[in-house]
Chains A and B, each alone.
Chain A
Amino acid sequence: MPTTDDQWYFRKEDFQSTPSVYDSITPQDERTIRAKGCGFINSVGNSLRFTQTTIATACTLFHRFYMRQSLKTHHHYMMAGTCIFVASKIEEQQRKIRDIVQVCNRKAKRTDAVLSEDSKDFIRWRDNLILQEEVLLEYNCFDLTIEHPYPLLLDYCKQAQASKRLQYTAWAFVNDSYRSYACLLFRPSVVAATALYLAARILDEDLQMSRSDKPWWDCLEVAFSDIEECSHELLDMYTYVPSAQSRPSHEA
């Protein structure tokens, strides 16, 4: 079965004609709602102590799904929960479904209350996760191997002999990138290079690739024009995601 991940990369103008936009959600609102969904994935994922890879996989499944389905037919929190559920299986970090349900409910309602397992809310969450799992997989065309910028970033940091501070900051930029459309617009190598670039700019550190006089992005075989474009995508996100404004967060 051929795997073409080309179908998962889009042009900027494609976001003006998504299923949600046809459902009369403005492109800007869609961005905000999707960022919220990914924020939800992040906080549920962190509570369940998932790795950043699992969280990133969940966010990618989420974004890919909404390129084919509308936010009006599938509520973003319910879908975000399903993405976490499926990602936990894909990335071999299974949790009991009842634990996922409890955390989803807590984060969605911002309470500390524990649901009883025969309550309406519990059953609704659980049944939805199981039902939507298949829908999510289907619209994701069963593409279950998803590459992320993290391993590349570690490699780039090594090549650049980046300080710990620089590494953490760049890592946080990658974490935050999932709230934007970066994973639908740019390959993991571009996102990793951009995160490193932005981190160096913020911290006012110089990037010097060892063993080369070429500009550092050339050593990584990433075009600087891509880094510039991706920088805009990432930085724009901080203006429309209220909760991300005080970030980047240092969740490594």
Chain B
Amino acid sequence: MRVEVGEAMNARTESRYVKDKKIGEGTYAVVYQGTEISTQRMVAIKKIKMGHFKSGLDMSAIREVKALRELAHPNVIELIDVFSHKTNLNLVLEFLDTDLEMVIKDTDLIFKAADIKSWLLMTLRGLHHCHRNWLLHRDLKPNNLLIARDGQLKLADFGLARDYGEMTATMTSQVVTRWYRAPELLFGAKRYGYGIDIWSVGCIFAELMLRTPYLPGDTDMEQLDTIFRALGTPTEDEWPHLTSLPDYVQFKAYPKTPLRTLFTATTADALDLLEKMLVYNPVKRTSALEAIQHPYFQNLPRPTHPARLPKPAMNINEGSVAAKRRLDPG
């Protein structure tokens, strides 16, 4: 008996899904809405274009498959299957119809303090699961935090995610969308760690409270300037070895202004947590686990149950806009 195991398995996998319609297209993938035939469950099928890459399969696809096969958590998008069809690689992902950016931008929605606490907690739980599995996400931002119909928030877009063990391997600092990029990355650090994801979560936390991006810079230089204006220019004292970072340049010495001046309506425990996420020295920045254990999450009000969180009024077409936007680079 000689069985072509791989091929047969692959064909079986492929026949389990139907592609219903195209919902988005990006630089390296086309996304379809599809259905798992046996369960009628809605899925997203991300078809990775292979043909036009001169060096074969795109790294983002490899990183995404590698990361998602290792992670299974209610707050991380589920990779249901992988199969190849002719020369395309297909990732079958759980279908999620909105994302946190759409929620933040929807001016019809009113956020209670408990809602923000709930989204933040789910983000941190998903992130802690990544970090516990030695994985840096490296691209956290509101539109990579997808939201399921039942309100569960899920980390998605693992195209930049990579294994991280110790501070030994050098990595590119060209990661994370600018507004959410940690200062050490903007100064060109090649050795960095979990702190870069925490910085992004801090920015997202602030954005949830402000309903507008907290630190929007137009260029990398302006990004640093924006950060320092908001949080004060760091000194070598609070951030040792700062001046020896590869792209370090001296900035105007802005004074430290208390967060309270901008976040007037926020509780003290929330501001304390935010402050710990936005510590300049990456070594001193809080971790995902410490953040989850912060009094902010124990104090009242309790985080809103996911099912009762505000949600944009949705029809399926708007969903496709979200999917399309997500795929656009930058």
Instruction: Assess whether B328 is interfacial by the CB under 8 Å rule.
Output: no
Which single member of B5, B56, B70 contacts A97 (CB below 8 Å)? B56
Within 8 A of B (CB), among A1-56: 1-3, 19, 22
B241 within 8 A of A: no
Name the residue in B6, B10, B84, B162 with the highest tally of chain A Cβ atoms < 10 Å from its Cβ.
B6
Determine if A1 and B81 form an interchain contact, defined as CB atoms under 8 angstroms apart. yes
State whether A134 touches B69 (Cβ < 8 A): no
Residues of chain B contacted by A68 (CB below 8 angstroms):
4-6
CA A19 – CA B68 in complex, angstroms?
Answer: 30
B68 (CB) vs chain A CBs: closest residue: A1
Residues of chain B within 8 A (CB-CB) of A108 are none
A90 and B82 alpha carbons, distance in the complex (Å): 16
What is the CA–CA distance of A130 and B52 in the complex, to the nearest angstrom? 11
How far, in angstroms, from A90 to B64 measured CA to CA in the complex?
Answer: 11
Q: Which residues of B sit under 8 angstroms from A144, Cβ to Cβ?
A: 62, 65-66, 69
Assess the B50–A134 pair: CB atoms within 8 A. yes
Answer yes or no: A137 CB below 8 A from chain B CBs: yes
Q: Which of the listed residues A1, A94, A96 has the most CB atoms from chain B within 10 Å of its own CB?
A: A1
Chain A 67-92: CB-based contact to B (< 8 A → 1; otherwise 0)? 01100000000000000010001101
Contact: A134 with B70, CB < 8 Å? no
Bound-state CA distance A142–B89 (Å) is 10
The answer to whether B82 touches A145, judged by C-beta atoms less than 8 angstroms apart, is: no
B269 interfacial contact with A, CB 8 Å: no
Question: Count the A residues whose beta carbon is within 8 Å of the partner chain — how many?
Answer: 26
Confirm or deny: A141 has a beta carbon within 8 angstroms of a beta carbon on chain B: yes
A143–B62 CA distance with the chains assembled, in angstroms: 10
Q: Is A138 an interface residue (CB 8 A)?
A: yes
**Using Cβ atoms and an 8 Å threshold, which residues of chain A touch B66?**
90, 144-145
CA distance A32 to B24 in the complex (A): 49
Quick check: A138 and B87 within 8 Å, CB to CB? no
> What is the minimal beta-carbon distance from A73 to any residue of chain B, in angstroms?
10
Interface residues as binary, B1-34 with A (CB distance below 8 Å gives 1, 0 otherwise):
0101111011000000000000000000000000
A199 at the interface (CB under 8 A from B): no
Q: Does B57 contact A (CB under 8 A)?
A: yes
Residues of chain B in range 231-265 having any CB-CB distance to chain A below 8 Å? none
Contact B69 A1 (CB under 8 A): yes
B81, B84, B162: the one contacting A134 at CB < 8 Å is B84
Q: Is the CB of B57 within 8 A of A137?
A: yes
Contacts A1-B79, A68-B5 known; A134 to B87 CB distance under 8 Å? Answer: yes
Contact partners of B69 in chain A: CB under 8 A = 1, 3, 142-145
Nearest Cβ on chain B to A162's Cβ, whole angstroms: 21
Chain B residues positioned under 8 Å from A134 (CB to CB): 50, 57, 84, 87, 89
The verdict on B150 contacting chain A, using a C-beta distance below 8 Å, is no
Chain B residues lying within 8 Å of A233, measured Cβ to Cβ, are none
The residue in A133, A142, A143, A145 that gathers the most chain B C-beta atoms within 10 A of its C-beta is A142
Tell me, yes or no, whether A139 is within 8 Å of chain B by CB.
yes
Q: A1-B69, A143-B69 known; A89 and B59 CB under 8 Å?
A: yes
> Within residues 49 to 81 of chain B, which ones have a CB less than 8 A from any CB in chain A?
50, 53-57, 59, 62, 65-66, 68-70, 72, 78-81
Residue of chain A at shortest CB distance from B58: A89
A200 lies within 8 A of chain B by Cβ: no
B7 touching A138 by the CB < 8 A rule? Answer: yes
Task: Write out the residue numbers on chain A whose beta carbons fall within 8 Å of the beta carbon of B5.
Answer: 68, 139
With a cutoff of 8 Å between Cβ atoms, the chain A residues found around residue B163 in the complex are: 92
Q: Which residue in A1, A97, A137, A138 is a CB contact (below 8 Å) of B78?
A: A1
Q: Is the CB of A138 within 8 A of B10?
A: yes
CB <8 Å contact, B2 and A90: no
A174: chain B residues within 8 A (beta carbon): none
What are the residues of chain B within 8 A of A69 when measuring CB–CB?
A: 6
Decide yes or no whether A58 CB sits under 8 A from chain B: no
Given known pairs A1-B78, A90-B62, A144-B66, the reply for A96 and B55 (CB within 8 Å) is yes
Q: How far is the CB of A230 from chain B (nearest CB, A)?
A: 26
A139 touches B54 (CB 8 A): no
Question: What string of 1s and 0s marks CB contacts (under 8 Å) between A119-149 and chain B?
Answer: 0000000000110011001110111110000
A142 B57 Cβ-Cβ under 8 A: no
CA distance in complex: A3, B79 (Å): 11
Interface residues of chain A, those whose CB is within 8 Å of chain B, are 1-3, 19, 22, 68-69, 85, 89-90, 92, 94, 96-97, 129-130, 133-134, 137-139, 141-145
**Considering the complex of A and B, which 3 residue pairs feature the smallest CB-CB distances, nearest first?**
A139-B6, A144-B66, A130-B56
**Taking beta carbons and an 8 Å cutoff, which residues of B are in contact with A?**
2, 4-7, 9-10, 50, 53-57, 59, 62, 65-66, 68-70, 72, 78-84, 87, 89, 162-163, 169, 171
17 A/B residue pairs, CB under 8 Å, sorted by A: A1-B69, A1-B82, A85-B56, A92-B162, A92-B163, A134-B50, A134-B57, A137-B84, A137-B89, A138-B6, A138-B10, A138-B84, A141-B6, A141-B9, A142-B82, A144-B65, A145-B66
